Amino acid sequence: MKKYFGYSIAGVMAASLLSACSGAANAESAEIVEAKFTSSGAVEIPENWREWIFIGTPLTPNALNGGEAPFPEFHNVYIEPSAYKHFVKTGEWAEGTQIAKELVSVRPNNNAPDGSSQEVSGRGYFQGEFNGLELTVKDNKRFSGEPGGWAYFTFGHQPEPYNQTAEASPTEACNVCHEVGAETDFVFTQFYPVVRAVQE
Ligand code: HEC
Protein backbone atom coordinates (compact mmCIF):
# COMPACT_ATOMS: atom_id res chain seq x y z
CA MET A 1 0.00 0.00 0.00
CA LYS A 2 2.70 2.38 1.12
CA LYS A 3 4.81 1.51 -1.87
CA TYR A 4 1.93 1.97 -4.27
CA PHE A 5 1.24 5.37 -2.74
CA GLY A 6 4.88 6.34 -3.11
CA TYR A 7 4.93 5.42 -6.79
CA SER A 8 1.81 7.37 -7.59
CA ILE A 9 3.16 10.53 -5.94
CA ALA A 10 6.32 10.12 -8.00
CA GLY A 11 4.12 9.68 -11.05
CA VAL A 12 2.17 12.82 -10.37
CA MET A 13 5.38 14.78 -9.80
CA ALA A 14 6.84 13.51 -13.06
CA ALA A 15 3.65 14.37 -14.91
CA SER A 16 3.52 17.90 -13.57
CA LEU A 17 7.21 18.42 -14.31
CA LEU A 18 6.61 17.24 -17.86
CA SER A 19 3.67 19.55 -18.38
CA ALA A 20 5.59 22.48 -16.88
CA CYS A 21 8.35 21.89 -19.42
CA SER A 22 6.17 21.48 -22.48
CA GLY A 23 5.35 25.15 -22.55
CA ALA A 24 2.64 27.49 -23.75
CA ALA A 25 0.90 25.26 -26.31
CA ASN A 26 -0.24 22.82 -23.63
CA ALA A 27 -1.22 25.54 -21.22
CA GLU A 28 -3.36 27.03 -23.99
CA SER A 29 -5.18 23.82 -24.94
CA ALA A 30 -5.74 22.92 -21.28
CA GLU A 31 -7.95 25.97 -20.83
CA ILE A 32 -10.09 25.45 -23.96
CA VAL A 33 -13.26 23.33 -23.88
CA GLU A 34 -12.98 21.15 -26.96
CA ALA A 35 -15.55 19.60 -29.29
CA LYS A 36 -16.28 15.88 -28.98
CA PHE A 37 -15.73 13.53 -31.90
CA THR A 38 -17.00 10.03 -32.64
CA SER A 39 -14.53 7.21 -33.28
CA SER A 40 -15.08 7.68 -37.02
CA GLY A 41 -14.12 11.36 -36.77
CA ALA A 42 -17.54 13.04 -37.02
CA VAL A 43 -18.15 15.89 -34.60
CA GLU A 44 -20.92 15.60 -32.02
CA ILE A 45 -23.52 18.37 -31.77
CA PRO A 46 -22.52 20.76 -28.94
CA GLU A 47 -24.61 20.40 -25.79
CA ASN A 48 -25.55 23.97 -24.96
CA TRP A 49 -24.51 26.37 -27.71
CA ARG A 50 -27.32 28.79 -26.84
CA GLU A 51 -25.53 29.38 -23.53
CA TRP A 52 -22.28 30.35 -25.28
CA ILE A 53 -21.24 33.98 -25.87
CA PHE A 54 -23.70 35.50 -28.34
CA ILE A 55 -21.85 37.78 -30.75
CA GLY A 56 -24.27 38.92 -33.43
CA THR A 57 -26.97 38.19 -36.00
CA PRO A 58 -26.36 38.89 -39.67
CA LEU A 59 -29.49 38.68 -41.82
CA THR A 60 -29.67 38.03 -45.57
CA PRO A 61 -33.41 37.93 -46.34
CA ASN A 62 -34.82 36.56 -49.58
CA ALA A 63 -36.31 39.96 -50.40
CA LEU A 64 -32.81 41.43 -50.80
CA ASN A 65 -31.43 38.42 -52.70
CA GLY A 66 -33.72 37.99 -55.68
CA GLY A 67 -35.97 35.68 -53.63
CA GLU A 68 -33.20 33.06 -53.36
CA ALA A 69 -30.85 33.79 -50.47
CA PRO A 70 -28.76 30.70 -49.67
CA PHE A 71 -29.58 31.39 -46.01
CA PRO A 72 -32.74 33.54 -45.85
CA GLU A 73 -32.79 33.24 -42.04
CA PHE A 74 -31.19 35.26 -39.25
CA HIS A 75 -27.72 33.87 -38.46
CA ASN A 76 -27.26 33.82 -34.67
CA VAL A 77 -23.57 33.32 -33.90
CA TYR A 78 -22.16 32.02 -30.58
CA ILE A 79 -18.58 31.38 -29.39
CA GLU A 80 -17.75 28.69 -26.84
CA PRO A 81 -16.94 30.73 -23.68
CA SER A 82 -13.40 29.46 -22.97
CA ALA A 83 -12.37 30.25 -26.56
CA TYR A 84 -13.99 33.67 -26.29
CA LYS A 85 -12.05 34.41 -23.07
CA HIS A 86 -8.84 33.37 -24.77
CA PHE A 87 -9.61 35.70 -27.68
CA VAL A 88 -10.29 38.61 -25.32
CA LYS A 89 -6.89 38.00 -23.66
CA THR A 90 -4.78 37.38 -26.75
CA GLY A 91 -6.69 38.56 -29.86
CA GLU A 92 -6.25 35.05 -31.29
CA TRP A 93 -8.45 32.03 -31.85
CA ALA A 94 -6.96 29.22 -29.75
CA GLU A 95 -6.57 25.65 -30.93
CA GLY A 96 -9.91 24.00 -30.05
CA THR A 97 -12.03 27.13 -30.63
CA GLN A 98 -15.68 26.34 -31.45
CA ILE A 99 -18.11 28.81 -33.05
CA ALA A 100 -21.74 27.94 -33.77
CA LYS A 101 -24.11 29.60 -36.19
CA GLU A 102 -27.80 28.87 -35.74
CA LEU A 103 -30.31 29.83 -38.42
CA VAL A 104 -33.63 31.32 -37.34
CA SER A 105 -36.44 31.95 -39.83
CA VAL A 106 -37.96 35.38 -40.35
CA ARG A 107 -41.15 35.40 -38.28
CA PRO A 108 -44.15 34.81 -40.51
CA ASN A 109 -46.96 37.17 -39.56
CA ASN A 110 -48.92 38.55 -42.51
CA ASN A 111 -45.62 39.39 -44.11
CA ALA A 112 -45.39 42.09 -46.76
CA PRO A 113 -43.83 41.12 -50.13
CA ASP A 114 -40.45 42.22 -48.72
CA GLY A 115 -40.81 39.58 -45.97
CA SER A 116 -41.19 42.12 -43.18
CA SER A 117 -44.00 42.07 -40.64
CA GLN A 118 -45.73 44.73 -38.60
CA GLU A 119 -45.15 44.29 -34.87
CA VAL A 120 -45.63 46.58 -31.87
CA SER A 121 -42.20 48.19 -32.23
CA GLY A 122 -42.69 48.88 -35.94
CA ARG A 123 -42.36 47.21 -39.34
CA GLY A 124 -39.32 45.01 -39.66
CA TYR A 125 -37.79 41.56 -39.49
CA PHE A 126 -38.39 39.52 -36.34
CA GLN A 127 -37.11 36.06 -35.41
CA GLY A 128 -39.37 33.05 -36.02
CA GLU A 129 -38.25 29.44 -35.55
CA PHE A 130 -34.88 27.67 -35.35
CA ASN A 131 -34.00 26.29 -38.76
CA GLY A 132 -30.47 24.91 -38.83
CA LEU A 133 -27.13 24.68 -37.08
CA GLU A 134 -23.53 24.94 -38.26
CA LEU A 135 -20.26 24.72 -36.36
CA THR A 136 -16.66 25.53 -37.05
CA VAL A 137 -13.75 24.08 -35.07
CA LYS A 138 -10.10 25.14 -35.22
CA ASP A 139 -7.81 22.16 -34.72
CA ASN A 140 -4.60 22.09 -36.71
CA LYS A 141 -3.73 18.60 -35.49
CA ARG A 142 -7.01 16.90 -36.30
CA PHE A 143 -7.63 18.95 -39.47
CA SER A 144 -4.09 19.40 -40.72
CA GLY A 145 -5.38 19.35 -44.32
CA GLU A 146 -7.71 22.34 -43.81
CA PRO A 147 -6.33 25.83 -44.39
CA GLY A 148 -5.87 27.47 -40.97
CA GLY A 149 -6.91 24.20 -39.30
CA TRP A 150 -10.58 25.28 -39.50
CA ALA A 151 -13.14 22.55 -40.27
CA TYR A 152 -16.81 23.33 -40.98
CA PHE A 153 -19.83 21.22 -40.08
CA THR A 154 -23.56 21.35 -40.64
CA PHE A 155 -26.11 19.57 -38.47
CA GLY A 156 -28.84 20.22 -41.03
CA HIS A 157 -30.60 23.19 -42.61
CA GLN A 158 -33.97 22.25 -41.16
CA PRO A 159 -36.09 22.73 -38.01
CA GLU A 160 -35.12 20.83 -34.86
CA PRO A 161 -34.27 18.08 -34.14
CA TYR A 162 -30.88 18.64 -35.74
CA ASN A 163 -28.59 15.80 -36.75
CA GLN A 164 -26.59 14.61 -33.74
CA THR A 165 -23.26 14.29 -35.57
CA ALA A 166 -21.71 15.85 -38.66
CA GLU A 167 -18.81 15.06 -40.98
CA ALA A 168 -16.47 17.89 -41.93
CA SER A 169 -17.63 19.64 -45.13
CA PRO A 170 -15.28 19.69 -48.13
CA THR A 171 -12.76 22.55 -48.04
CA GLU A 172 -14.20 24.15 -51.20
CA ALA A 173 -17.73 24.16 -49.75
CA CYS A 174 -16.96 26.32 -46.71
CA ASN A 175 -13.36 26.97 -45.74
CA VAL A 176 -12.42 28.71 -49.01
CA CYS A 177 -14.99 31.50 -48.64
CA HIS A 178 -13.99 32.04 -45.00
CA GLU A 179 -10.31 32.18 -45.91
CA VAL A 180 -10.91 34.84 -48.55
CA GLY A 181 -13.58 36.99 -46.89
CA ALA A 182 -13.18 36.82 -43.12
CA GLU A 183 -11.23 39.46 -41.28
CA THR A 184 -9.66 37.59 -38.33
CA ASP A 185 -8.20 34.13 -38.97
CA PHE A 186 -11.18 32.73 -40.97
CA VAL A 187 -13.79 34.32 -38.66
CA PHE A 188 -16.01 37.13 -39.95
CA THR A 189 -15.29 39.44 -37.03
CA GLN A 190 -16.17 42.46 -39.20
CA PHE A 191 -19.84 41.51 -38.71
CA TYR A 192 -19.69 40.89 -34.94
CA PRO A 193 -19.77 44.08 -32.84
CA VAL A 194 -19.34 42.10 -29.61
CA VAL A 195 -16.00 40.78 -30.89
CA ARG A 196 -14.86 44.07 -32.41
CA ALA A 197 -15.43 45.74 -29.03
CA VAL A 198 -12.77 43.52 -27.43
CA GLN A 199 -10.35 43.51 -30.36
CA GLU A 200 -7.26 45.73 -30.16
C1 HEC B 1 -19.91 32.45 -49.81
C2 HEC B 1 -19.16 32.50 -48.58
C3 HEC B 1 -19.39 31.49 -47.48
C4 HEC B 1 -19.43 30.12 -47.60
C5 HEC B 1 -19.30 29.27 -48.84
C6 HEC B 1 -19.63 29.61 -46.24
N7 HEC B 1 -19.68 30.63 -45.34
FE8 HEC B 1 -19.84 30.47 -43.32
N9 HEC B 1 -19.94 32.47 -43.17
C10 HEC B 1 -19.92 33.38 -44.23
C11 HEC B 1 -20.14 34.72 -43.71
C12 HEC B 1 -20.18 36.01 -44.53
C13 HEC B 1 -20.29 34.60 -42.33
C14 HEC B 1 -20.55 35.73 -41.34
C15 HEC B 1 -21.89 35.61 -40.70
C16 HEC B 1 -23.02 35.52 -41.67
O17 HEC B 1 -23.18 36.38 -42.54
O18 HEC B 1 -23.72 34.53 -41.56
C19 HEC B 1 -20.14 33.18 -42.01
C20 HEC B 1 -20.15 32.67 -40.73
C21 HEC B 1 -20.06 31.34 -40.41
C22 HEC B 1 -19.96 30.80 -39.07
C23 HEC B 1 -19.79 31.62 -37.83
C24 HEC B 1 -18.28 31.89 -37.57
C25 HEC B 1 -17.57 32.80 -38.53
O26 HEC B 1 -16.58 32.32 -39.14
O27 HEC B 1 -17.92 33.99 -38.71
C28 HEC B 1 -20.00 29.44 -39.19
C29 HEC B 1 -19.95 28.43 -38.06
C30 HEC B 1 -20.09 29.13 -40.59
N31 HEC B 1 -20.09 30.30 -41.32
C32 HEC B 1 -20.18 27.85 -41.11
C33 HEC B 1 -20.13 27.57 -42.48
C34 HEC B 1 -20.27 26.23 -43.05
C35 HEC B 1 -20.52 24.97 -42.24
C36 HEC B 1 -20.15 26.35 -44.40
C37 HEC B 1 -20.21 25.26 -45.44
C38 HEC B 1 -21.34 24.36 -45.40
C39 HEC B 1 -19.94 27.77 -44.68
N40 HEC B 1 -19.94 28.47 -43.51
C41 HEC B 1 -19.75 28.27 -45.96
C42 HEC B 1 -19.66 33.09 -45.53
C43 HEC B 1 -19.58 31.81 -46.07
Average predicted confidence (pLDDT) for the chain: 89
Distance separating alpha carbons of residues 43 and 169, to the nearest angstrom? 11
pLDDT at 13 over 90: no
Q: What is the mean pLDDT of residues 44-71?
A: 95
Please answer whether residues 58 and 192 qualify as being in contact, where contact means their C-beta atoms are separated by less than 8 angstroms: no
Question: From the CA of 199, how far away is ligand 1's center (Å)?
Answer: 20
Give the pLDDT confidence score for residue 5 in this predicted structure: 46
Give the pLDDT confidence score for residue 6 in this predicted structure: 45
Q: Closest ligand 1 atom to the C-alpha of 152?
A: 35
pLDDT, tens digit, 9 for 90 and up, residues 132-152: 999 999 999 999 999 999 999
pLDDT at 3 over 90: no
Please answer whether residues 150 and 160 qualify as being in contact, where contact means their C-beta atoms are separated by less than 8 angstroms: no
Under the banding of pLDDT at 50, 70 and 90, the label for residue 178 is: very high
Under the banding of pLDDT at 50, 70 and 90, the label for residue 23 is: very low
CB count in 10 Å sphere of residue 106: 23
Would you give the end-to-end CA distance of the chain in angstroms?
Answer: 55
Q: Closest ligand 1 atom to the C-alpha of 187?
A: 26
Please answer whether residues 175 and 150 qualify as being in contact, where contact means their C-beta atoms are separated by less than 8 angstroms: yes
Question: From the CA of 30, how far away is ligand 1's center (Å)?
Answer: 27
Under the banding of pLDDT at 50, 70 and 90, the label for residue 48 is: very high
Question: From the CA of 175, how far away is ligand 1's center (Å)?
Answer: 8
pLDDT at 113 over 50: yes
Q: Closest ligand 1 atom to the C-alpha of 153?
A: 35
Pocket of ligand 1 (CB under 6 A): 58, 75, 77, 99, 101, 134-136, 152-154, 169, 173-174, 177-178, 181-182, 187-188, 191
